[in-house]
C-alpha cells in the first residue's frame, strides 16, 4: 500500500508543470481583489537584460496561456516568438480565474478550460470578469507594476491584440500614454455586433438580439455563451479611440475574414482624416487566423501564415521607431 501511495504521489508530482519548466518566467500581482498571473518570455540568458515589453492581448476563449501534454509544449503564441526576443520581453496575462498553465488532456476542444463540461460553462469568476473594461484596466494596471521592474525598458511599449484582443489593445492605448506602438489584428473598429450581423442570415433576429443586449447591458447570464455584458462591451466601436491616437498603429487583417470590409471602410476614414500614423496590411485569400481558404471558403489548416504576419509586425516596428 505504501509503495502504491508513493507511486501515485510520484506520478502526480511528475504531472505538475509550471511555466518555468518551459523556460518562461511567471509573475503575479493583485488587481482589485483578484490574483492576476502572467508569464514573461525572454531570450535565454537575457531575462534580466533591460528591454521594452511586447504586451500581447489574448483572444476570446477561456484558455490557459501555457498548454502542454506528454509530448511537450503547444504553441503559446500563434506565431514563433523567438524573433521578437532579441528586442523585447513578451508579456501574456492569464484569463481571469483560468489557470495560467494546464495539461491539454484536462481541457476541452480548442484548449478551453471549463467548470461544467456537460453544459460547456467556464468558471463563474471568469464569466463575471469577461468584459472589455475589466481587461483594459487590469492590463494597464499590470503595465504600471511591470514598469517598476529593472528588466523593463520604459523607452518603448508595444501592445498587440488579435481578434477580441484587438479591442482590448485599442482601448488600452487610448487610456495609457506609456504605450508607444499599437498592433491591431483581426479586429473590427465598428464592434463585435457588426460581425455577428454580417455572419447571420436572419438579420431581423440578430437586431432583436442586439436590442435585448442593449436593454441588459450590465447583465451577466451564465449559459456558457457570451454574456449580455460581454457582447455589449465588445460591440462598442473602437473607431473613435483609434482615430484620436497619435502613436504608430498597424492594422493586419485577412481578406476572407468578416472584418475585412470594415477594416477597408475604416481605412477610408483614416485617409479622409489625413492621419499619417496608420499602416494597413491586408492578406489576400486568408481567413481570420490567416489560413488560406479555397473557393468554397474552406480553410487549409496545413498552411499556416502566422509567422509571416508576425514577421511583418517586426518589420513595421523596426521602420517605426
> 3-state SS string over 8-43?
HHHHHHHHCCCHHHHCCEEEEEEECCEEEEEEEECC
pLDDT 10s digits, 185-234: 999 999 999 999 999 989 999 999 999 999 999 999 998 889 999 999 99
Per-residue model confidence (pLDDT) at position 102: 95
Q: What is the pLDDT of residue 10?
A: 42
How far is residue 278's CA from residue 59's CA, in Å, rounded to a whole number? Answer: 22
pLDDT digits (tens, 9 = 90+) for 104-123: 999 999 999 999 888 889 99
* For residue 51, pLDDT beyond 80: yes
CB atoms under 10 Å from CB of 230, counted, come to: 22
Mean pLDDT on 45-62: 96
Q: Is the pLDDT of residue 147 over 70?
A: yes
- What is the pLDDT, as a whole number, of residue 239? 98
CATH number for the domain whose boundaries are 2-319: 3.40.50.1820
Q: Characterize the bridge pairing of strands 51-57 and 89-93.
A: parallel
Asked if residue 155 has pLDDT above 70, the reply is yes
User: CA–CA separation, 42 vs 56, rounded Å?
Assistant: 14
Domain-wise residue ranges, the chain: 2-319
Question: What pLDDT score was predicted for residue 110?
Answer: 92
Rounded to whole angstroms, the Cα distance separating 51 from 154 reads 8
- What the block records as the C-alpha cell of 113 is 478550460
Amino acid at each position: 500500500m505504501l509503495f502504491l501511495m508513493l507511486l501515485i504521489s510520484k506520478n502526480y508530482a511528475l504531472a505538475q508543470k509550471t511555466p518555468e519548466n518551459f523556460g518562461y518566467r511567471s509573475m503575479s500581482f493583485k488587481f482589485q481583489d483578484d490574483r492576476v498571473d502572467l508569464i514573461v518570455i525572454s531570450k535565454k540568458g537575457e531575462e534580466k537584460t533591460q528591454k521594452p515589453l511586447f504586451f500581447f492581448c489574448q483572444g476570446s476563449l477561456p484558455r490557459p496561456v501555457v498548454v502542454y501534454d506528454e509530448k511537450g509544449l503547444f504553441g503559446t503564441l500563434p506565431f514563433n516568438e523567438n524573433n521578437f526576443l532579441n528586442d523585447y520581453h513578451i508579456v501574456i496575462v492569464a484569463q481571469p480565474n483560468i489557470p495560467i498553465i494546464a495539461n491539454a488532456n484536462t481541457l476541452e476542444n480548442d484548449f478551453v478550460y471549463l467548470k461544467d463540461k456537460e453544459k460547456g460553462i467556464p468558471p463563474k469568476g471568469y464569466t463575471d470578469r469577461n468584459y472589455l473594461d475589466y481587461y483594459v484596466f487590469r492590463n494597464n494596471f499590470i503595465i504600471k507594476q511591470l514598469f517598476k521592474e529593472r528588466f523593463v525598458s520604459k523607452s518603448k511599449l508595444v501592445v498587440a491584440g488579435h481578434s477580441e484582443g484587438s479591442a482590448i489593445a485599442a482601448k488600452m492605448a487610448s487610456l495609457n500614454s506609456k504605450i508607444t506602438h499599437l498592433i491591431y489584428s483581426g479586429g473590427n473598429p465598428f464592434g463585435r455586433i457588426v460581425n455577428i450581423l454580417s455572419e447571420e442570415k436572419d438579420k431581423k433576429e440578430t437586431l432583436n438580439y442586439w436590442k435585448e443586449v442593449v436593454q441588459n447591458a450590465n447583465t451577466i447570464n451564465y449559459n456558457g455563451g457570451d454574456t449580455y455584458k460581454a457582447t455589449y462591451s465588445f460591440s462598442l466601436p473602437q473607431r473613435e479611440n483609434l482615430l484620436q491616437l497619435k502613436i504608430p498603429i498597424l492594422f493586419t487583417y485577412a481578406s476572407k475574414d468578416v472584418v475585412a470590409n470594415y477594416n477597408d471602410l475604416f481605412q477610408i476614414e483614416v485617409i479622409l482624416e489625413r492621419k499619417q500614423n496608420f499602416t494597413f496590411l491586408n492578406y489576400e485569400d486568408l481567413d481570420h487566423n490567416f489560413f488560406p481558404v479555397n473557393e468554397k471558403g474552406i480553410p487549409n489548416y496545413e498552411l499556416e501564415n502566422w509567422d509571416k504576419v508576425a514577421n511583418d509586425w517586426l518589420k513595421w516596428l523596426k521602420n517605426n521607431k
